[in-house]
Amino acid sequence: MILNLTDISDEPLQSQISRQVRAKILAGELGAGDNLPSIRGLARDQRVSVITVQRAYEYLEREGLIHSRRGKGFFVSELSDSAKKEMAKTRLLETLQAPLLAALAEGLSKADIQQIVQLLLAQAGDN
C-alpha cells in the first residue's frame, strides 16, 4: 500500500495513516474484504513505529472501516455506498466547521464563503 507520509506536517503520522487509508476505502480503491498490510509490515515500509500504525488501525477499526481477524490480520469492512458517502459527509462537516466559523467571525459573509467554495470546487474540477 502506497501512502504519502511526511514528518514536516502538523498532522501526526498516525492521523496521516488513518486519513489516507480511510480515503482509499471511501473512494473504493480498497474494497470490502481486502487485506491490509500487517502492522509491522506497514511500519517497516513507511519507516514509522509499530505503535503509530497500531493506533491508526485501532482508530479505523473504531470507525468501522476495518476489522481484524485473530491470526489473519486486518481487512476492509463491508460498507454500503450510502454508508461510505455518509462517512465522507460527516468528515467534511467536521473538517469545515472550524474554518467556516472563523471566516464568519473575521467578517466574511455567507455569500463570500460560498463564492470561495465555488471557486475551490471549480479548481478541483480541473484536476
**Domain 13-76 fold:** Arc Repressor Mutant, subunit A (1.10.10)
Chain segment 38-58, per-residue pLDDT in tens: 999 999 999 999 999 999 999
What percentage of the chain exceeds 90 in pLDDT?
A: 94
Chain segment 2-15, per-residue pLDDT in tens: 899 999 999 999 99
- Look at residue 58 in the predicted model and tell me its pLDDT: 97
- Look at residue 65 in the predicted model and tell me its pLDDT: 97
Chain segment 72-89, per-residue pLDDT in tens: 999 999 999 999 999 999
- Look at residue 75 in the predicted model and tell me its pLDDT: 98
Q: How far is CA 49 from CA 17, 28, 40, 58, in A?
A: 12, 27, 8, 14
Q: pLDDT tier at 127 (50, 70, 90 boundaries)? A: low
Nine cell digits for residue 50? 509499530
Interacting residues of 43 by C-beta distance below 8 A, sequence separation 6+ = 49, 50, 52, 53
What percentage of the chain exceeds 70 in pLDDT?
A: 99
pTM attached to this predicted model? 0.80
